[in-house]
Chain A
Amino acid sequence: MEWKRFGFIAFIIVALFSIVVLIGQARDPIPTIIISMAATTISVATPLTLGALSGVFSERAGVVNIGIEGMMLTSAFFGWFGAIYFNTILKFEAMPSLILGVVIAVLAGALMGLLHAALSITFKVDQVIGGTVINILAIGITGFFNRQLFFEKNSIFGGNVPHAPGTLPSVGQVPFLANVPILSNLQPIAILAIVLVFISTFVLFRTRWGLRTRAVGEHPRAADTVGINVSFMRYVNVIISGCLAGLAGAYFTLESVPSFEPLMTNGRGFISLAAMIFGNWTPLGAWAASLVFGAAQALQINLQFYRELIPPSLSLLQYPYIVGLTPYILTMLILTGIIGRTVSPAADGQPYEK
């Protein structure tokens, strides 16, 4: 069952790569194209992987989380603000500032996770509505404080955007890794994301904690009767979910580019949610699905790159809008079970009442 899914996902990725190789080989050598596609795929997939893992933890414990987008945006802003604050006001060096920025981003995510947990577990608010609250709140808070802190004359930075302390360095700076293709360009959060995929798999399927988490997501009443504290398990897992979304947010402003933009997460939180479903609520599946979305984005960029080489019979591929539809349509087909059936945790979305 799972092998079939991974086979299918691998097939899609190979297909997406092949399209670019077939069109682009007239201009560039094939290995160059593949390495470039792979690099784009991995970097696009990083925030998606973390976002999807965030969804896995929350939903495996029975709490639907559509607030990932808002959590990412909030963390991206506060992580960035934190790094600049330590660097500019408290005169820390660049590297410690960046690391503290990541810590603040994760904490901001945890705080948003706590809000979502309080709403959906304590107040038993419908979980999709709780997520919507987080999404709207994130847009307002980040937009408002971005203006107040960085633009207005009486702000702590005096109305001038201070220089950011840069971004987290790539692995290539470690001497013996400098010449390995693809790997040498990876940055800490990208690597951490992959490591977390395996840690999450282990935690969810090989530990007591994971067993309990899945129990409260599948049969909360049964879990309760054997003495598992359902509310506690759900709270902690939703906060973990917030931390992971926070790390994804840190990727945007501390690893990818040293700046914050209003709405810069650009819907990637929702795509993460789709990746989680695509991957059938497992960390490995979510990672694979994130790579599919990464490959689809790489396809889109590269087809524009080779626009002149696209044969007239495939002229539809010249329109990035049309190519851009692929991941969304795939998600709908997967979700509805037209291709590969998915099974969500049985108690996902339901508040638990004793």
Chain B
Amino acid sequence: MAEKEKTSSSQPRISGWLRSGLNTMLVPALAVLTAMIVGGIVIALAGGNPFAAYAGLIEGSFGSLNAISETTVWATPYIFAGLAVAFGFKGGLFNIGAEGQLAFGAVMAALVGYGLPLMGVDLPAVVFVPLTVVAGIIAGGIWAAIPGWLKAKFGGHEVINTIMMNYIALNITSYLLNGPMKDNNPLNVVARTPLIAESARISTVFPDYRFHWGFILALLVAVLIWFILWKTTLGFEIRTVGTNPDAARYAGVNVSNIIIITMVISGALAGMAGSIEVTALNYRHELGFAVGYGFDAIAIALLGKNHPAGVVLASLLFGAMRNGATRMQFNTQIPVDIISIIQALILLFVAADAIVRYIYHIRIQQDRLVLTRGWGG
């Protein structure tokens, strides 16, 4: 692997820090711009008006206080799931199973949230809210620990195993939500759990807006993940295993343990995405609500260059696009699928940054991400 030194290392500390930050953001920003231009051409070719479409997108995502509030609602699970994938990447693991971990976390959070009161356990919110959230975190962690353990112990590749775990999670949640955990209210016909107790819910920040404390929590967790990765020994070991497992093993790091820990934390973050959706927004788990978060999270992690701050920004962008899509469709009747096209193009240009650098004549080299070295086995 020919990996170039970062050009910023010789700069004075603060300005160098800033400059490398800007340099890091330059390519993703240009990738987004390029993707929007190509997306605009696709809209125009299909007979739509790209300017009206993008105006609708912006109006719907930032045009009013409520629009901004809704954008944060959409961004919240993206931040957690994006952090989950980014954390895995830092440890050299490709967690493509955020979808399943999220669903499993949501189911378990809902189970605790409505189940404990049924069993006669009455807890104050100070205890009950954290307990419900933690249930989702643990469930997501366990769901990711299985492929982590299979990788550490047997070398089975996490990409296939997390995909398989997604299908297993889908089947099990379908079974639970149609059977034992189904909302028995005679009026209910949907495959969903009962509502969780009032005292298990995370409240909104302002009345009349759905902007909730879960978003603030997501920002705090992003800081925590940054701290773990760059300020602790564990984080150092995870990053070392991610860049060079052989060197890590030589330096005395227990690589198997680090692989499992990385997967568990990654899964816990995805599970937290699920439990926050349940405790702060939907107050229950409903079948099929998490369709597509797993793939979006991969795009977010890459767009954010696997850095927590980048993940937060990328999540806000993706949240804004998903949220604004409603207004765009209302204004112009352009199908919402255009958002998926733009997101795929963003991912394309971020991943193949050589294209972007060629178009815009940027010479700065950046580290390349190489994760998949065969399936193991």
Give the residue of A119, A324, A332, A347 whose beta carbon is less than 8 angstroms from that of B156: A332
Does the CB pair B370–A351 fall under 8 Å?
A: yes
* CB-defined contacts of A133 to chain B, threshold 8 Å: 344, 347-348, 351
Give the residue of A135, A322, A344 whose beta carbon is less than 8 angstroms from that of B374: A344
Give the residue of B150, B340, B368 whose beta carbon is less than 8 angstroms from that of A124: B368
B253 CB within 8 Å of chain A: no
* CB-defined contacts of B94 to chain A, threshold 8 Å: 128
A325 CB within 8 Å of chain B: yes
B195 CB within 8 Å of chain A: no
Give the residue of B42, B47, B160, B171 whose beta carbon is less than 8 angstroms from that of A331: B160
A137 CB within 8 Å of chain B: yes
CB under 8 Å from chain A, chain B span 242-282:
none
Does the CB pair A129–B351 fall under 8 Å?
A: yes
A154 CB within 8 Å of chain B: yes
Give the residue of B2, B298, B337 whose beta carbon is less than 8 angstroms from that of A147: B337
Does the CB pair A154–B295 fall under 8 Å?
A: no
Give the residue of B341, B352, B355, B377 whose beta carbon is less than 8 angstroms from that of A140: B341
**In the complex, how many angstroms separate the beta carbon of A265 from the nearest chain B beta carbon?**
14
A28 CB within 8 Å of chain B: no
Question: Could you tell me the distance between the alpha carbons of A331 and B168 in the complex, rounded to whole angstroms?
Answer: 11
**In the complex, how many angstroms separate the beta carbon of B186 from the nearest chain A beta carbon?**
23
B236 CB within 8 Å of chain A: no
CB under 8 Å from chain A, chain B span 59-105:
94, 96
Residue of B nearest to A345 (CB): B374
Question: Could you tell me the distance between the alpha carbons of A73 and B159 in the complex, rounded to whole angstroms?
Answer: 21
Does the CB pair A274–B160 fall under 8 Å?
A: yes
CB-defined interface of A313-335 with B at 8 Å, one 1/0 digit per residue?
00000010110110011011001
Interface majority SS on B: helix, strand, loop or mixed? Answer: helix
* CB-defined contacts of A345 to chain B, threshold 8 Å: 374
Does the CB pair A147–B335 fall under 8 Å?
A: yes
Does the CB pair B47–A139 fall under 8 Å?
A: no
B172 CB within 8 Å of chain A: yes
Does the CB pair A274–B164 fall under 8 Å?
A: yes
Give the residue of B47, B172, B174, B373 whose beta carbon is less than 8 angstroms from that of A148: B47
Does the CB pair A319–B344 fall under 8 Å?
A: no
Give the residue of A125, A147, A338 whose beta carbon is less than 8 angstroms from that of B154: A338
Does the CB pair B377–A267 fall under 8 Å?
A: no
* CB-defined contacts of A321 to chain B, threshold 8 Å: 171-172, 174-175, 178
* CB-defined contacts of B352 to chain A, threshold 8 Å: 119, 123, 125
Question: Could you tell me the distance between the alpha carbons of A344 and B354 in the complex, rounded to whole angstroms?
Answer: 29
24 contacts between A and B (CB under 8 A): A64-B374, A126-B351, A126-B369, A129-B302, A133-B347, A133-B348, A137-B340, A139-B344, A140-B340, A140-B343, A140-B344, A143-B340, A145-B46, A148-B335, A270-B163, A273-B163, A277-B375, A321-B178, A335-B156, A335-B161, A336-B156, A337-B377, A338-B154, A344-B374
B residues neighboring A (CB under 8 Å): 1-2, 42, 46-47, 94, 96, 150, 153-157, 159-161, 163-165, 167-168, 171-172, 174-175, 178-179, 295, 298-299, 302, 333, 335, 337-345, 347-348, 351-352, 354-355, 368-377
A residues neighboring B (CB under 8 Å): 64, 66, 119, 123-130, 132-133, 135-137, 139-141, 143-145, 147-148, 152, 154, 267, 270, 273-274, 277, 319, 321-322, 324-325, 328-329, 331-332, 335-338, 341-351, 353
